[in-house]
Amino acid sequence: MIDYRIIPRENFTDKIGELVSMLEHTRAVTLSEISNLSQSELDYLPNEGSNSIGSLLLHIASIEFVHQVISFEKRDLNEDEYLKWGSALELGDKARDVIKNHSLEYYLDELFQIRENTLTYLKLKKDSWLFEENKWGNGVSYNNYYLWFHVMEDEINHRGQIRTIKRLLENNK
């Protein structure tokens, strides 16, 4: 059941618990959008330049993974991680070629495993961690709170694309 309240969550500090509440609400709505999709629906490409729902789901997982690495481990992806997640991160031609023929359960497992790791890490953090600042390579400052806001923002954006693809699928039946 989707919870429509932003409240602190047990086993987390107050602000991190609120962040978890928002992350979990965002995910619950995404999961409700994709429930019962078939492999062909997950692989459907509305046109030659589109991304499939499956690609968008792996992109959502990859963005969360990258933000785990950046915020919890204070590093960039290593070569092996990039090999696993690069297509999903970048989307486009390569993703259209390699992200297909997976069941809904495959995508759900990826999303679940990444989220479980996020929650494990967040349980170890204090609210002050959210406000710790770092700089991108170009010198622009960011904090951990922004990184996790971006995880939600990105998922919500791609959920909108998923809804559009589902409407196109319905119109093509």
Q: Which domains does the chain have, with CATH numbers?
A: 14-171 (1.20.120.450)
- 122 class by beta-carbon count within 10 Å (0-12 exposed, 13-18 middle, 19+ buried): buried
Question: Residue 25: its pLDDT value, please?
Answer: 95
d(CA 120, CA 136): 25
DSSP assigned state of 133:
E
Query: Can you name the residues that pair with 135 across neighbouring β-strands?
Result: 141
Nearest to 124 by CA among 20, 2, 50: 20
Q: What is the DSSP letter of 69?
A: H
Q: Can you tell me the distance from the alpha carbon of 74 to that of 161, in angstroms, rounded to the nearest whole number?
A: 31
Please name every residue paired with 133 in a beta bridge, in sequence order, or none if there are none: 143
pLDDT at site 109: 98
Nearest to 62 by CA among 122, 110, 131: 110
Mean pLDDT by 10 residues, the chain (173 residues): 86 96 96 95 93 97 98 96 96 94 97 98 98 94 97 97 94 76
Measuring CA to CA, which residue among 87, 110, 95 is closest to residue 31? 110
Q: What is the model's pLDDT at position 2?
A: 81
The pLDDT assigned to 5 comes to 86
